[in-house]
């Protein structure tokens, strides 16, 4: 049974990917420093799959601890989620973001180089495109100057991986996520924003639950149909399955270049007001919101051209926006 390391495996996307890896017959070992999640997620994963993943509480910024881990664990593939990901926070703490997001990546790649390990999947983001000139966004769209430190760590991360693959014949895939939302159907794992949610869906569900008094819609003067910004909201389980598809592509040596990247979205854009309407339908709750000014750094619209991912990964989304919002609401009610 192939053993896969999942860094950040107790996080939102990481935990859903661990479940799909176990369901696909992989042996999973998780590294997570619990800085952005809770240890209880490990038990929830075990409840869902019946298999408890091996778990290590390691800070990947400590080079020696990373080395010790690889001294004691034979790994067949790595899915690297561990990173700070709050766009706004990254602007106030750039060095924390570069130390964590880039430092941990370099230490892991150095161990892969030194031990001739292979099959690396990197958690990237559509944020590398900034405001794309054409929609839907294809993989040929140019990478633009990052608008945030968070986005820059993803761009730099991809460059580091690309150069490492070239120099050391490593095989890697970067998955450029659009907007991950929703929760596992078991309602045992989901998005756990610590503090005030930065992202739209957790703020929506917390408003519906009465934890927040009202949702602020950041701007309705965008050049879109209803004036609110458009994004591609993908169910986190569909996103998790894309990681399995990418890992199998590398394990089966079906990749066409040492370094590849794929846009992972639904291919459909939804505006903030459309999401609110869909959520109200899915939850039966009416949402209290007000229109306020734009949020700094936000782009008008982003949604994926999924052709390449569909064909090369033999993967496509199966869940709808309504299903994703319904699962998010069920998860909120559970918590």
Collapse the DSSP code of 81 into the 3-class scheme (helix H, G, I; strand E, B; otherwise coil) and give the result: coil
What are the DSSP calls for 189-235, one per residue?
Answer: S-----SS--SHHHHHHHHHTTSSS-EEEE-S-SSSSSSS-EE-EEE
**Among 221, 287, 247, which residue's Cα sits nearest to residue 25?**
247
Based on CB atoms, which residue is closest to ligand WQD, 15 or 127?
A: 127
Report how far apart, in Å, the C-alpha atoms of 12 and of each of 32, 45, 48, 145, 183 are: 12, 12, 15, 27, 9
Q: How far is the CB of 95 from ligand WQD (least distance, A)?
A: 19
**Residue 52 Cβ, how far from ligand WQD at the closest point, in Å?**
27
Neighbour-count burial of 277, counting CB atoms closer than 10 A to its CB (0-12 exposed, 13-18 middle, 19+ buried): middle
Which CB, 69 or 303, lies closer to ligand WQD?
303
Give min distance, CB of 189 to ligand WQD, in A.
17
Residue number, 108 or 200, with CB nearest to ligand WQD = 200
CB of 218 to ligand WQD, least distance (A): 4
Instruction: Give strand pairing partners of 31.
Output: 7, 56
| Closest CB 154 distance from ligand WQD, rounded Å | 7
User: In 3-state terms, what secondary structure has residue 239?
Assistant: helix
233 is catalytic: no
Considering beta carbons, is residue 77 or 219 the nearer one to ligand WQD?
219
Catalytic residue (choose from 55, 150, 177, 303): 150
The conformation of residue 188, written as its DSSP 8-state character, comes to: S
Residues near ligand WQD (CB under 6 A): 85, 87, 125, 127, 179, 198-200, 203, 215-218, 229, 231, 272, 295, 298
Closest CA to 4 of 246, 181, 176: 246
Residue closer to ligand WQD by CB (options 253, 290) is 290
Q: Which residues are catalytic?
A: 150
């Amino acid at each position: 049974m192939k053993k896969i390391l999942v860094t950040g495996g107790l996080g939102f996307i990481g935990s859903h990917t661990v479940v799909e890896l176990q369901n696909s017959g992989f042996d999973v070992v998780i590294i997570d420093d619990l800085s952005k999640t809770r240890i209880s997620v490990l038990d929830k994963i075990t409840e869902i799959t019946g298999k408890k993943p091996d778990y290590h509480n390691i800070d990947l910024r400590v080079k020696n601890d990373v080395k010790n881990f690889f001294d004691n664990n034979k790994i067949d593939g790595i899915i690297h989620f561990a990173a700070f990901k709050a766009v706004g926070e990254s602007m106030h703490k750039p060095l924390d973001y570069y130390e964590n997001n880039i430092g941990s990546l370099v230490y892991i790649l150095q161990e892969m180089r030194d031990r001739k390990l292979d099959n690396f999947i990197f958690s990237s983001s559509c944020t590398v495109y900034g405001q794309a000139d054409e929609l839907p966004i294809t993989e040929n769209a140019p990478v633009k100057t990052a608008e945030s430190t968070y986005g820059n760590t993803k761009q730099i991360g991809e460059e580091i991986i690309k150069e490492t693959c070239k120099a050391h014949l490593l095989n890697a895939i970067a998955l450029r996520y659009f907007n991950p939302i929703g929760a596992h159907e078991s309602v045992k794992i989901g998005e756990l924003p610590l503090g005030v949610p930065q992202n739209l869906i957790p703020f929506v569900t917390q408003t519906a639950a009465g934890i927040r008094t009202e949702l602020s819609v950041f701007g309705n003067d965008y050049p879109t149909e209803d004036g609110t910004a458009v994004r591609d909201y993908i169910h986190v389980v569909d996103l998790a399955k894309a990681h399995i598809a990418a890992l199998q592509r590398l394990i089966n040596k079906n990749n066409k270049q040492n370094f590849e990247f794929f846009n992972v979205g639904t291919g459909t854009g939804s505006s903030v007001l459309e999401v609110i309407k869909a959520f109200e339908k899915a939850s039966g709750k009416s949402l209290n919101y007000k229109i306020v000014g734009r949020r700094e750094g936000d782009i008008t619209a982003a949604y994926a051209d999924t052709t390449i991912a569909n064909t090369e990964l033999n993967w496509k989304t199966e869940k709808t926006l309504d299903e994703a919002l319904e699962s998010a609401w069920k998860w909120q009610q559970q918590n």
